[in-house]
């Protein structure tokens, strides 16, 4: 039969005072899949590191330039402006680090039954969605509860509501917040009639550090998606440029109170 070498592992099973040796062969396909997986992990880490470096580089440049000017500047008014720039950029760095830590290692926390309608109404005030400027349409079920970590759900919803608010203020000032049911799956929908998202950008919206906002860190939706997965839920985004965006928070475990 000839000799053949292979990669794999050996395990033993005791059978009636004797041992059965079991050979588990690692096939070439499995080795290739593992290699591809490791390469994808390294590529993702590289992209993440590049994103962090890029985001940190800009505020550091602003801080450095301002401090250099402060050394030479005697005008008190200009000094005050430069100090303001430094503090603003330091705050930006602080926010970036906190957001990155939330993305890299979110705290799992305890889950509980949360009334979705009550929480949404609480966050509408917290956001705030400026009811005088934005027309709100609510279609919520006051008896529906979701099994989530409450703080995770607040963070996700607040992020989605603030995004909808910004979009609405740039377009038709309307936001719809409601529940949808498809078969046995419930979703919380937040839809705006803003400028929408370009077709080529839709697939990037959950990528770390991707943002269409000038001051955005590009971590908001990435963190939101991570938190959804921790709570057995997910996010879907549909958008049409010039018409608006619909975000669906696909809820995991739900019950009617």
- pLDDT, tens digit, 9 for 90 and up, residues 92-103: 777 666 666 655
Question: What end-to-end distance do the CA atoms of the chain give, in Å?
Answer: 68
| Overall number of domains in the chain | 2
Does 48 share its domain with 174? no
Query: CA–CA distance from 94 to each of 60, 99, 121, 151, 157 (Å)?
Result: 12, 9, 30, 21, 22
Q: Which two tokens stand for residue 189?
A: 């929908």
Of 78, 104, 130, which residue sits at a domain end?
104
- 87: Cα within 13 Å, side-chain hemisphere: 6
92-151 pLDDT tens trace: 777 666 666 655 565 667 899 999 999 999 888 877 766 567 888 999 999 999 999 888
Q: Is 208 domain-assigned?
A: yes
23-80 pLDDT tens trace: 555 565 565 566 555 555 555 555 555 556 656 767 777 777 777 777 777 777 878 8
163-202 pLDDT tens trace: 888 888 887 888 999 999 988 899 999 999 888 888 888 7
Does 250 share its domain with 172? yes
Task: Give me the CATH number covering residue 234.
Answer: 3.30.565.10
> Which residue from 249, 20, 219 is spatially nearest to 101, judged by alpha carbons?
219
Does 178 share its domain with 65? no
Does 117 share its domain with 199? yes
Q: What is the DSSP string of 45-57?
A: HHHHHHHHHHHHH
Does 131 share its domain with 252? yes
Q: Which two tokens stand for residue 98?
A: 């906190």
Of 45, 75, 104, which residue sits at a domain end?
104
Q: Is 20 domain-assigned?
A: no
Q: Is 76 domain-assigned?
A: yes
Of 104, 130, 145, which residue sits at a domain end?
104
Supply the range of the domain harboring residue 198.
112-256
Distance between CA 67 and CA 93 in Å, rounded?
A: 16
Query: Locate tokens 């760095």: which residue?
Result: 93
CA angle 186, 141, 145 (to 5 degrees): 65
The DSSP code for 18 is E
Q: What is the pTM (predicted TM-score) of this model?
A: 0.60
Q: Is 153 domain-assigned?
A: yes
CB 183 within 8 A of CB 244: no
Instruction: Tell me how crowded residue 163 is: count the other CB atoms within 10 A of its CB.
Output: 22
Torsional class of 2: left (φ above 0), alpha (ψ -120 to 50), beta (otherwise): left
Does 198 share its domain with 227? yes
Predicted pLDDT of residue 94 = 74
> Which residue from 240, 243, 210 is spatially nearest to 225, judged by alpha carbons?
210
Summary mean pLDDT of the chain: 76
Does 143 share its domain with 214? yes
């Amino acid at each position: 039969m000839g000799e053949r070498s292979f990669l794999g592992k050996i395990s033993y099973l005791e059978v009636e005072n004797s041992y059965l040796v079991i050979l588990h062969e690692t096939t070439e396909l499995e080795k290739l899949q593992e290699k591809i997986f490791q390469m994808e992990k390294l590529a993702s880490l590289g992209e993440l590191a590049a994103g962090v470096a890029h985001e940190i580089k800009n505020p550091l440049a602003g801080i450095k330039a301002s401090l250099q000017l402060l050394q030479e500047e005697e005008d008190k008014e200009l000094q005050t402006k430069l100090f303001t720039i430094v503090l603003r950029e330091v705050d930006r760095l602080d926010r970036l680090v906190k957001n990155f830590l939330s993305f890299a290692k979110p705290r799992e926390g305890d889950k509980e039954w949360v009334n979705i309608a009550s929480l949404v109404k609480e966050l509408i005030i917290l956001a705030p969605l400026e009811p005088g400027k934005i027309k709100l349409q609510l279609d919520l079920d006051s008896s529906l509860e979701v099994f989530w970590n409450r703080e995770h759900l607040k963070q996700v919803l607040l992020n989605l509501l603030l995004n909808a608010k910004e979009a609405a203020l740039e377009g038709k000032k309307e936001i719809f917040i409601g529940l949808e049911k498809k078969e046995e799956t419930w979703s919380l929908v937040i839809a705006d009639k803003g400028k929408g998202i370009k077709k080529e950008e839709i697939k990037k919206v959950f990528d770390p550090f991707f943002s269409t906002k000038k001051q955005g860190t590009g971590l908001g939706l990435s963190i939101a998606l991570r938190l959804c997965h921790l709570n057995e839920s997910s996010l879907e985004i549909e958008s049409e440029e010039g018409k608006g965006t619909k975000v669906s928070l696909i809820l995991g475990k739900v019950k009617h109170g």
